[in-house]
Structure 1
Amino acid sequence: MGTAKRDNTDGRKRRWQEHNAARRQAVIDAAIVVLNRDLAPGDEISVQQIADEASVHRTVLYRYFEDRVDLDLAIQREICLRAGEVLLSTITLEGTIQEIVHRVIGAYVDWGTENIALMRFAERQVNGTTERPLDDAIGQFAEQIEILIGGILALLDADVSEDDRDALTPWVFLLVGGVMAAVRNWSSREELRPAAPAFTDLLAEVTWLQIEGLVSSRNIEVPDVPVEQLLNLKEAP
């Protein structure tokens, strides 16, 4: 009897938690819709707008969030998650290193162009907390870029000094942060000039020149072949 009662209690608790998580996600999704559909970049979003879109009463909404800080942080995390999924899907071994650079930057420019209001909301510092989901997301993305670079250096059997290895992380942050700052400035214009494809080409070229210049100064030869081909050559007996 005791075990059955505990199982029933645990089952109800689990279903209630799942219900709360689903309702919480529905509210977050509603906020994303309002931001993208109804608001200009930088406009404030109200709890009432979110509640209306989620078809819940404003007071009911706060059953799923501790306060406005919790709500805003949850929205920022969701924005970062969605952007991160797009960007991380581009970090593959397909194509040359230059093509990979272009692909990653192109994905970010495209996402930023289509989701300017979301990007601006994610960049905000939420009052009442020091937490910044965007910083965490940038760190995770930079870490994946660093892993990719480290893997390519290993494929090239590059002789990298200890100082250069120690500086790899901040250098990657410099590249990522520079691209993000450039996209932010460009996307803030009333008219997006140059157009997104031309801007992507320019930004990718500038970024590639930084990479190419650095490896050249270290006498590291980067073959103009797909990274997958380098991997196959490395694995060949």
Structure 2
Amino acid sequence: MAAPSGRRDQTDGRKRRWQQHNADRRQAVIDAALTVLARDLEPGAELSVQLIADEASVHRTVLYRYFDDRTDLDVAIQQEICTRAGELLLAAVTLEGTPREIVERIVHAYVDWGAANVALMRFAERDIPGAATKPLDLAIGQIAEQIELVIGGFLAVLEADVEEDDRDALTPWVFLLVGGVMAAVRNWSSREELRPPAPQFTRLLADVTWLQIEGLAASRNIEVPDLPVEQLLNLKEA
């Protein structure tokens, strides 16, 4: 015989509250891990579960109630790092400003984040034994996809005649751009002293990235106007 609806609602309510409690505690542990990484550890140093438990004010054995194992914990930490960095970068990937300004804005956002979060960046880059996925790869894919959409939108505004082979190569080319910027920031942020200083390094990296874009466009006889994209849209509509 089925349970009365009132009792079933109470049971479902308790289940939801318990699930929310576990989710909240799991997030608290992840937040504690990021605090330990950013505050206490040198980039690349081993992240101790005991340090995380102490920061989260839970017993080490209690911590594992919210994670399947150490792999699940480490991947969850990587996912949180990538989510926070990704939100910052995706906010910079828009059609506002000139094409050159768009490139500078994206590079500036990543350089600033990388310089301020070296330990987090190093942890996100780790290969976690037993992990089925790598959050960093997924995050790079999301950012590259958004950049590809911006480039595709800009080409549409210009009504550029792009060959099919070039369109097919657009995705790997964008991954090359993103990967190159990330590798450069990784190398630069590994130095004991950040030389050149962040503003000059950002400018240099933005220049190099822009020259790749501008050079490829020129080789395809695509002229990139030095105008805000919004103005180009208005001209097209007119």
Q: TM-score range by the shorter chain?
A: over 0.9
Q: Take 2:205 and 2:63, find their aligned partners in 1: how far apart are those partners?
A: 42
User: Partner residue of 1:151?
Assistant: 153
Give how far 1:118 is off.
0.0
For normalisation by structure 2, the TM-score amounts to 0.97
Match of 2:5 in 1: 3
- Structure 2 counterparts to residues 53-72 of structure 1, below 5 A: 53-72=55-74
Instruction: Quote the residue 1:190 is aligned against.
Output: 192
* Alpha-carbon displacement from aligned partner over 1:35-69 (angstroms, at most 9, x marks no partner): 00000100011110000000011111011000000
Q: How does 1:89-100 map to 2 (within 5 A)?
A: 89-100=91-102
Residue 21 of structure 1 and its aligned partner are, at CA, apart by 0.4
**Are 2:166 and 1:164 equivalent residues in the alignment?**
yes
Deviation at 1:233, TM superposition (A): 2.1
CA distance in 2, matches of 1:130, 1:201: 37
Would you say 1:223 and 2:225 are equivalent positions? yes
Alignment correspondent of 1:202: 204
Q: Which runs of 5+ in 1 are unaligned?
A: none
Which of 82, 85, 88 is matched with 2:84 structurally?
82
Query: Using the alignment, how far apart are the partners of 1:11 and 1:235 within structure 2?
Result: 54
Amino acid at match of 2:199: P
Matched residue SS, 2:92: coil
- Give, in angstroms, the shift of residue 235 of structure 1: 2.9
Count of paired positions: 236
* Partner Cα distance (2:58, 2:132) in 1: 29
**Superposed CA offset, 1:122-155 (max 9, x none):** 0000012242110000000000000000000000
Report the CA distance between 1:228 and its aligned residue. Answer: 1.2
Q: Could you tell me which of 20, 43, 46 is aligned with 1:44? A: 46
1:191-221 Cα shifts (integer Å, max 9, x gaps): 1111111000000000000000000111111
Task: Name the residue aligned to 1:214.
Answer: 216
Identity percentage of aligned residues: 77
Match of 2:32 in 1: 30
- Could you tell me how far apart the structure 2 residues matched to 1:85 and 1:68 are? 26
Q: In 2, Cα distance between the equivalents of 1:19 and 1:233?
A: 54
Question: Could you list the runs of 4 or more consecutive aligned residues of structure 1 that deviate by over 6 angstroms after TM superposition?
Answer: none
Query: Shift in Å at residue 187 of structure 1?
Result: 0.8
Alignment of 1:138 with 2:140, yes or no, is yes
Structure 2 residues not aligned, in runs of 5+? none
Q: Deviations over 1:79-131 (max 9, x none)?
A: 00000011011112211000110010011000000000000000000012242
Which residue number corresponds to residue 116 of structure 1?
A: 118
Bigger shift: residues 227-236 or 167-176? 227-236
- Deviation, structure 1 residue 234: 2.4
Contact 2:157/2:236, CA 8 A, preserved across alignment: yes
Provide the C-alpha distance between the structure 2 equivalents of 1:136 and 1:86, rounded to a whole number of angstroms: 15
- Aligned Cα RMSD in Å? 0.8
